[in-house]
Amino acid sequence: MAAIDYNLLRPLRALLEERSVTRAAERMHVSQPSMSLALARLRTHYEDPLLARHGNHYELTPLGERLLEALPQAIIEVEQVLGLQPRFDPVTSTRTFSIAGVDYAIARIAPALSRIVEREAPNVRFEFPAADGRLVNGAPDSLRTIDGAILPHGYLVDQLHLDFEPEAWVCIVDAVSGVGERASADELLTRPWVQTLPARDGITPARQQLQFRGIDISVVAATPNFFVVPSLIIGTDRVAIVPEGFARMAVRTEPRLRLVLLPLDLDPIRDAFWWHIDRKHDAGHIWLRSILKRFARSHLNS
């Protein structure tokens, strides 16, 4: 098998996803003869047709199916490797950093990142994909596809990380639900609960601590998005346990909510920025970590 031109990876993905030379050419903004030539080269390399005609359409061969499954992550990793530089100049860089996290975690860091980037790295960009069960369950390999993830301790182990300031757990309820600001444990634990994590993705660190103490709660609604929680609380007798920073943000935004101090001594939530060891000596990533360290210090001292 001859060495492949890495410039063929994106045409290969387009061909396999579109299952059409014409549509792949349009997607890649090249001529149809150019895309046909790329397909011929790929067929020669793999010694496989990749696309096989069935009637008036094409279907993927078994090898084509396997390639399509592996290509997205492979392209990301190749581009990350080829993009590594011995030096990183934030002033001139056009690099895009990808940081996964739940919506509240991103909202917590995004303002500081935006201010710093606007002053120091005007052409640097950020992407914020969701941190979901696939990322957690696929770690550490899944961390190779992004620059890092913001997750609480307890989901990842033995990975490089930068700790942020811990936050206490508190509850939010509807202001007219009959629960005071200092409710008893029974008042809260006997109510229906909203969980900030889909059941298929496991349980939250707070609920895990409750279970360790032999306390179970009745979860009637779940969402991976913190900013959806208020809509699941307002007008109900439900309760949700959330980081204090989010609760104060939610109460300021929605007066119909009330923050309730948790009458249980739970360990605080300890968010951290986690990254794969492959990023350890990446000059751009070192700069990113320095920015996040500044964020962590500023919040620790605020």
72-120, pLDDT tens digit by residue?
777 767 766 666 566 789 999 988 899 999 999 999 999 888 888 899 9
Instruction: Note every long-range contact of 220-224, with CB atoms under 8 Å and residues 24 or more positions apart, other chains counting.
Output: 220/192, 220/193, 220/194, 221/192, 221/194, 221/195, 222/194, 222/195, 222/196, 222/197, 222/198, 223/194, 223/195, 223/196, 223/198, 224/102, 224/130, 224/132, 224/196, 224/197, 224/198
State the average pLDDT over residues 21-35. 86
What's the pLDDT at 10?
84
What's the pLDDT at 233?
96
- Per-residue pLDDT band for 163 (boundaries 50, 70, 90) equals very high
Report the amino acid identity of residue 269. Answer: I
Indicate the pairing of strand 169-174 with strand 51-54. unpaired
Question: Looking at the predicted structure, is the pLDDT value of residue 258 above 80?
Answer: yes
pTM, rounded to two decimals: 0.72
Q: What is the CATH number of domain 169-261?
A: 3.40.190.10
Class of domain 6-83: mainly alpha
Higher pLDDT, 8 or 84: 8
Show me where the domains of the chain are located. Answer: 6-83, 96-155+275-300, 169-261
State the average pLDDT over residues 121-138. 87
Superfamily of domain covering 96-155+275-300: Periplasmic binding protein-like II (3.40.190.10)
Question: Looking at the predicted structure, is the pLDDT value of residue 214 above 80?
Answer: yes
Domains 96-155+275-300 and 169-261 share a fold: yes
217-249, pLDDT tens digit by residue?
889 999 989 999 999 999 999 999 999 999 999
Higher pLDDT, 11 or 5: 11
Report the amino acid identity of residue 229. Answer: V
Question: Looking at the predicted structure, is the pLDDT value of residue 301 above 60?
Answer: no
Give the whole-angstrom CA distance, residue 250 versus residue 29. Answer: 45
274-295, pLDDT tens digit by residue?
999 988 888 899 999 999 998 8
User: Is the Cβ–Cβ distance between 68 and 13 less than 8 Å?
Assistant: yes
**Strand partners for 171:** 241, 260
Indicate the pairing of strand 271-275 with strand 148-152. antiparallel
* Residue % of the chain over a pLDDT of 90: 39
